[in-house]
Structure 1
Amino acid sequence: MTFRMGPSLLFCPADRPERFQKAADRADAVILDLEDGVDPEARAHAREALQASSLDPATTIVRVNPADTADFLHDLEALRSTAYRTVMLSKTERVDHVERLTGYKVIALCETAGGIMIAEKLAQMSTIVGLMWGAEDLIASLGGSTSRRSDGRYRDVAAHARSRVLLAAGSAGKAAIDAVHLDIDDRAGLETEVEDAVACGFAATACIHPSQVPVIREGYRPVPSQVEWAQAVLDVARGRTGAFRFRGQMVDTPVIRHAEQVLRRAHAG
């Protein structure tokens, strides 16, 4: 199974049905959130709103509560009466938790120390279409207080977790989804993180506010000079074998793959 949503994935609390269509219209995909975005007392209402909704299943993800909670069972019951079949499993920490979602496309949200440590195993599961990581819950699971330094950069342990999830997903040919940028007004910080996500190979970036969507889309969309370079490289490479020189750069198989990725992102946009 392949994950084809992205690059902007916008969270929307599932107890706010008046926002569902707006979120779906503004982003590439919407994540209807039954977990942290909803007050526990409002989760029953959120499930009712989920069941009454009619968004496009091809661009809708439902985030359910952790598999070892009573809320998860209620979420799953509500989900069965909908057409939505892509599920984000909060705080994924065990393989058997994912197995409870047989029949769904699952995005494993690795946001605790336990989840990060089994990212490789999760990525190998046929049910899994992608891995996402989360910084704040991870730090909380370690007993820490903040994932970022005073200058906004991730602390080493958070950066390590991000890299591990990316590598785990890549090793299994699955999509890697970058974490949300909580500082809504920090456009420059989000731009920097999106630029790095694209350069490293993330397939999408999650966000919490509509204003972040254009930043993410712009970051994932190659600029014209990149598209021109990629097309030119591939044109020259056609029919050749082995490495060759192009515009002062050595081009070999990895560089050709980079060019293919640029065109893939350009056509997706």
Structure 2
Amino acid sequence: MAVESWTPAGPALLFCPADRPERYLKALDRADMVILDLEDAVAPVNKAAAREALIANPIAADRVIVRVNPAGTDDHELDLAAVQATPYRVLMQAKVEDPSQLAAHHLPTIALIETPKGALRVEEIVAAPNCVGLMWGAEDLVAGLGGTSSRFGDDEPYAGEYRDVARHVRSRVRLAAGAYGKAAIDAVHIDIADVDGLVAEVRDAVALGYTATACIHPSQAAHIREGYAPAAETVEWARRVLETAVDYDGGVFALDGQMIDGPVLAQARAVMSRAGATR
């Protein structure tokens, strides 16, 4: 059964361990949406407590995503049962490798592409009826390849630019999401102190049309929001392009020495859309 399209409430999506309910509202205050995490952020011995906390401490349902454990695990089924006892209805499913892994439930789901198999099947996964978006993860991906670092900073494994394999998967995820009109969420920047690196990646994500960027620390959310919000002069350019286009009935025209055609009009609409999403 197909589900309606989904767009996050804003570009900054902050992970929060589900077994730390005292952090739920603080995370929600700092970010546009909170990803209450039942998977990697929770130690195996605390999984049951995390599910109990998820049920017992509801927050704004329209600003929450719940990350559940991978299909085929005992925790996955328990996670789904817990979510059904909450007002939350958007999942992020870890380590999706096949569209059939989304078929066990009908909840709107962001498929997390973070394994070699998942990367090779992303075009099939995004077509699943209840897949509303894609996110990718570099570290699990590289671990699944038997590697040691997703980035070129050899002395600091989480610093530097992504290696080619990680960039390839990032590109495939973006292309697949774009082809099917689904949300695309960029991976977390693990080096919290590397603000310059985060800002650069956010700018690149915006240029490629990513919908949002996930983060692991509240301090990163503000940089993500700022990066997705277009500058005032860019918004003014987009407004003038779209207003002028009305007089040309979709044809090519020149504005301030720049040729404006269909692709440029689409970019102007994207700017206005991001401006509205980040107010």
Query: What TM-score range do you get, normalising by the shorter chain?
Result: over 0.9
Q: Is the 8 A contact 2:108 2:131 kept in 1?
A: yes
1:62 is paired with a residue of what secondary structure? Answer: strand
SS in 1 for 2:15: strand
Distance 2:137 2:239 in 1: 35
Letter in 2 for 1:211: S
Residue 142 of structure 1 deviates from its aligned partner by 0.7
Does structure 1 residue 42 correspond to structure 2 residue 50? no
Describe the SS at the equivalent of 2:134. Answer: strand
Match of 2:176 in 1: 168
Could you tell me how far apart the structure 1 residues matched to 2:255 and 2:26 are?
Answer: 46
Number of the residue aligned with 1:87: 91
TM-score with structure 2 setting the length: 0.94
1:180 aligns with 2:188: yes
Question: Using the alignment, how far apart are the partners of 1:148 and 1:109 within structure 2?
Answer: 20
Query: Is 1:123 the counterpart of 2:126 in the alignment?
Result: yes
SS in 2 for 1:239: helix
* 1:207 maps to 2:215: yes
Partner of 1:154: 162
Counterparts of residues 251-266 of structure 1 (less than 5 Å) = 251-266=260-275
Asked if 1:65 is matched to 2:73, the reply is no
| Percent identical residues | 55
- Of 136, 147, 151, the match for 1:133: 136
Residue 245 of structure 1 deviates from its aligned partner by 1.3
Q: CA RMSD in A?
A: 0.9
- Partner residue in 2 for 1:100: 104
Give the distance between the partners of 1:179 and 1:224, measured in 2 at CA: 27
Report if aligned partners of 2:15, 2:216 keep a CA contact under 8 Å in 1. Answer: yes
1:57 Cα deviation (Å)?
1.2
Structure 2 residue 256 is matched with structure 1 residue 247: yes
Judge conservation of contact 2:37–2:68 (CA < 8 Å) in 1.
Answer: yes
Which 10-residue stretch deviates more, 234-243 or 22-31? 234-243
Who is 2:156 aligned against?
none
For 1:75 and 1:235, the matched residues in 2 are separated by 49
The one of 187, 212, 229 equivalent to 2:237 is 229
Once the 2 structures are TM-superposed, how far is the Cα of residue 2 of structure 1 from its aligned partner?
2.1
Q: 1: distance between equivalents of 2:164 and 2:257?
A: 36
Aligned residues: 268
The amino acid that maps onto 1:64 is V
Aligned to 1:14: 18
Deviations, residues 24-58 of structure 1 (Å, cap 9, x unaligned): 11100000000000000001100000010211111
TM-score, reference length from structure 1: 0.98
> What are the ranges of 5 or more consecutive residues in structure 1 without an aligned counterpart?
none
Q: Which moved more, 1:129-138 or 1:243-252?
A: 243-252
1:63 Cα offset (Å): 0.3
What one-letter code is carried by the residue in structure 1 that aligns with 2:162? Answer: Y
